[in-house]
Amino acid sequence: MIREAALCVLLIATTLLAGCGVFGTDKAPTDPIQVDAPPLVPVFPEVEALASTTTRELSLGRARTLARRAALLVASCGDDPAGRGFALDQQTLVAHRDALPGAGSLSVSTANGRSTAVGPARAYRVGHLTVARVARAFPRKLTSGRGVASGTSVVVVAEHNGKLRFLPGVVVDRTSGDAYGVRADVLRLTSPVGERDAGPVLDAAGRVVAVVFAVDPRTTLGVAIPVSAFRGKALARTLELPACD
């Protein structure tokens, strides 16, 4: 009797499983399994260069303090100051082309109003940047840094309509400056530099490591001359500004 009841339960369970569409099998499927993986997206070299981005950054507050302390009002040819520039060393000044329209007599004023005549200047133009070399030392200058690697955090200081702008970014790469009229390698930056911007590039320690002078039309990246290039002959083929009347 018990055996017949057990067989009955087994028969009912088998019927229910079959009705639910559940079947057991010991054989593996023989049909090939097709799995399509999504295609790989190529990585741009600029993106790969940012993989080593440093975590240390210069705060915009400190950048403002450093820039305002070192900025020099520039007056050339006896005219009133037309803008601000920055001394890279004792005798090299960089400024927007509008701030230094000609070569000749040059004087600068610090933020506290102290004016200093730095003597005759020989000036060159690179893009929207003017570089002046003078006879006497500037009263203030930025602290120069060494070369920077790809991925280094930087802040570009540019003047627009009489106000300093601070544009954070990172160094993307280093490339030949021949296409930009510079006989030295140049840096390309992700900082949102405009076509008319020019100014120093500060690293995380607040040191000037390069100077922006143009925008790469192919990538829209900012283009900057490393500070080390100003000590050589990188400006030998640039446009020399006319002397004062």
What does the pLDDT read at residue 75? 87
Residues 147, 233: Cα–Cα separation, whole Å? 17
Identify which of 208, 202, 143, 198 has the alpha carbon closest to the alpha carbon of residue 168. Answer: 202
pLDDT in tens, 142-182: 999 988 899 999 999 998 778 899 999 999 999 999 898 88
Mean pLDDT over the full length of the chain: 81
Residues 223, 50: Cα–Cα separation, whole Å? 16
What does the pLDDT read at residue 184? 87
DSSP H or E segment with residue 163: strand 163-176
**pLDDT at 69 > cutoff 80:** yes
**pLDDT at 128 > cutoff 50:** yes
More confident residue, 87 or 34: 87
Token digits for 5? 């009841």
**pLDDT at 217 > cutoff 80:** yes
DSSP H or E segment with residue 7: helix 2-19
φ and ψ at residue 187, rounded to 5 degrees: -105, 145
pLDDT in tens, 3-53: 454 445 444 444 444 444 444 555 655 666 555 655 555 545 555 555 444
Sign of the C-alpha dihedral, residues 216, 219, 224, 228?
Answer: negative
What does the pLDDT read at residue 42? 56
The secondary structure of residue 139, as a DSSP letter, is S
Residue pair 144/227 in contact (Cβ under 8 Å)? The answer is yes
Residues 168, 198: Cα–Cα separation, whole Å? 14
Annotation: CATH topology of 52-58+142-231: Thrombin, subunit H (2.40.10)
* Reported CATH class of domain 60-141: mainly beta
Q: Lowest-pLDDT range, 26-35, 119-128, 184-193?
A: 26-35
Q: How far is CA 242 from CA 81, 105, 122, 167, 239, in A?
A: 18, 12, 9, 31, 9
Sorted by where each begins, the domain ranges of the chain are 52-58+142-231, 60-141
- How sure is the predictor about 114, in pLDDT bands with cuts at 50, 70 and 90? confident
